[in-house]
Amino acid sequence: MCKRILSALIATTGILSSCMTGHAQSSADFGKAKFEPPEGQKLLIIGQDANSVGGLPQYYNGYVDHLETPAGITTYTSIESLTGLTEVTNWGAGDICAQCYVDDPSFDNSVLVIGLYLVDMLDDIAAGKKDYNINRLGQWIKNQDRPIFLRIGYEFEGPWNRYEPRAFVKAWKHIVHHMDSLEVNNISYVWQSAGLNYINIEDWYPGDEYVNWMGYSQFDGQHMGEKIKAFARKRSKPIMIAEATPRLKIHKGKAKKHWSNWYERVLREIHEDDNIKAFAYINANWDRQTMWMGQGWGNSQVQDDPYIRKKWEEEFTKDCWLRASENLFEQLHYTSH
């Protein structure tokens, strides 16, 4: 009875009830390694805006148009307004549109990896003031017949996000409980560090039953994510390199040096750690995006240099890398609903 009443309340008002705790963390499958690739295999994910990914009628000069359809696509939305979820939006870093991918048959066999922006909203989330949008997000995810990874409050310890640890944990748990009450089963929660190796990183941890994967960003720093990798091993969680880009201008020459200095180093890191199960590469021309102009991010589009592209294809056609295929979801132990 409590479950039926709760479902009715959520469907009409988006209000949570205290009776949700009876099945809390069910959407997270109680912390199991949800949608983990088979032993020895890893997901290739490409992002993070529509122009960079390509493969769509209105976006036709990106990664997919020059190479192939990856196992996953990275995109973003904000719990404040859910912009970029069902319609095209642009915050100065390229067009974002999750719905565009699920509506296009070219991406029928790709997972989605959604970064959920929570900056300055943690207290409101925990207080239930964002429940209507959490409900909308949950229903949207539930309606998609594919695995969806949700990076709640990505780069949680990054000082630019200002996520106070206790408030972050409360907000995270509130979101997961809400997804539980909606019976969203095609979701996997990624706890993503900025890779900064803070000694108190565990302060932001919601708990084993609320997290399926751990992740970190890998840009141009040395030893990024060492703290989160050690913590993931301790907690038996698979790892996603959830944002990766080399901060260089691929199209400006020195391709062999670029490949050896960044790509080879990161790929070696991935292959030497069996716990790293997914690699999300940002294939963007950052210098063309107003948010990033003049900040030194450069151009990381692998198709823009013949040598980089050749080396990339040699690597990512290896059997260990999962790409979009008719049996991908089955390999990830996803059951269609």
- The answer to whether residue 239 is domain-embedded is yes
Q: How far apart are CA 120 and CA 105, in angstroms?
A: 36
Amino acid symbol at 317? T
Report which DSSP code applies to 261.
Answer: I
User: 31 is written with which tokens?
Assistant: 């912390």
Q: What pLDDT sits at residue 21?
A: 45
Q: What pLDDT sits at residue 106?
A: 95
DSSP letter string, 16-36: --GGGGGGTTTTTGGG--TTP
Q: What's the average pLDDT block by block, 10 residues per block, for the chain (337 residues)? A: 37 41 76 96 97 97 97 98 97 96 98 98 98 98 97 98 98 97 97 96 97 95 90 97 89 86 94 97 93 89 95 97 97 90
User: pTM score, two decimals?
Assistant: 0.92
Residue 103 has phi, psi (to 5 degrees) of: -85, -15
Q: How far apart are CA 150 and CA 191, in angstroms?
A: 9
Beta strand 89-90 with 95-96 is: antiparallel
Q: What is the CATH number of the domain that holds 147?
A: 3.20.20.80
Alpha carbon 260 to its chain's center: 26
User: 249 is written with which tokens?
Assistant: 């201008």
- The answer to whether residue 29 is domain-embedded is no
Provide the 3-class DSSP secondary structure of residue 221.
coil
What are the residue ranges of helices labelled H in the chain?
2-13, 50-53, 63-66, 98-103, 122-126, 131-143, 165-181, 226-235, 255-258, 264-271, 306-316, 328-331
- Within the chain, strands assigned E span 42-47, 72-78, 89-90, 95-96, 111-117, 148-152, 187-193, 213-218, 239-244, 248-249, 276-282, 298-299, 321-322
- The answer to whether residue 128 is domain-embedded is yes
- The answer to whether residue 262 is domain-embedded is yes
Q: How far apart are CA 198 and CA 191, in angstroms?
A: 15
Q: What pLDDT sits at residue 13?
A: 39
Closest CA to 88 of 134, 57, 133: 57
* Count of structural domains within the chain: 1
Residues in a beta bridge with 278: 43, 240
Reported as type and span, the H/E element at residue 306 is helix 306-316
Q: How far apart are CA 179 and CA 136, in angstroms?
A: 10
User: Is the torsion defined by CA of 76, 171, 175, 275 positive or negative?
Assistant: positive
Decide if 98 contacts 77 (C-beta within 8 A).
yes
Query: Which residues fall within 8 angstroms of residue 78, CB to CB, at 6 or more apart?
Result: 84, 116, 117, 118
- The answer to whether residue 143 is domain-embedded is yes
- The answer to whether residue 62 is domain-embedded is yes
- The answer to whether residue 332 is domain-embedded is no
User: 259 is written with which tokens?
Assistant: 């490949």
- The answer to whether residue 6 is domain-embedded is no
Q: What pLDDT sits at residue 24?
A: 63
Q: What pLDDT sits at residue 23?
A: 52
Q: What pLDDT sits at residue 247?
A: 81
Decide if 124 contacts 131 (C-beta within 8 A).
no
Range of the domain at 248: 41-326
Q: What pLDDT sits at residue 5?
A: 32
